[in-house]
Amino acid sequence: MQNYQSAVCITFDLDIETAWVVGKPENAKRPALMSLAHYAPRVGVPLILSLLERLDVEGTFFVPGKSAEDFPETVEEIIAKGHEIAIHGYTHD
C-alpha cells in the first residue's frame, strides 16, 4: 500500500448579504433573500466549525468588512476555534 500526502487549502467565503445587496440595494427589502443570507452566520458557520474540529483541520474564512461589522460574534467564534480570517473587500465589490 502506498502512502499519499498532499497539501490542501480549505477556504470559505462568508459574504452573508453583501453579494446580493451591492449594486442592488432593493434586495435588502426582500425578506426571503435576507433570511437565506443570514443562514450562513447563524447556522452554516457553526456546522462548518464543528466539521473542521472533528477532522482536526484549520480553514480560512474570507469575510467582507461589512459582514464582520454586522456579525462580529461569528468572526470571533471563527478566530476562537483557531481559524484564519482573511479580508474579502468591504462590501464584496
Rounded to an integer, what distance in angstroms lies between the CA atom of residue 59 and that of residue 80? 12
Rounded to an integer, what distance in angstroms lies between the CA atom of residue 62 and that of residue 64? 7
pLDDT value of residue 31: 85
CB 66 within 8 A of CB 91: yes
pLDDT per residue as tens digits for the range 8-61: 889 999 998 887 888 888 888 888 888 888 999 999 999 999 999 999 999 999
Q: Which residues contact 7 (CB under 8 A, 6 or more apart)?
A: none
Classified as helix, coil or strand, 45 is helix
CB 52 within 8 A of CB 58: yes
Model pTM score: 0.85
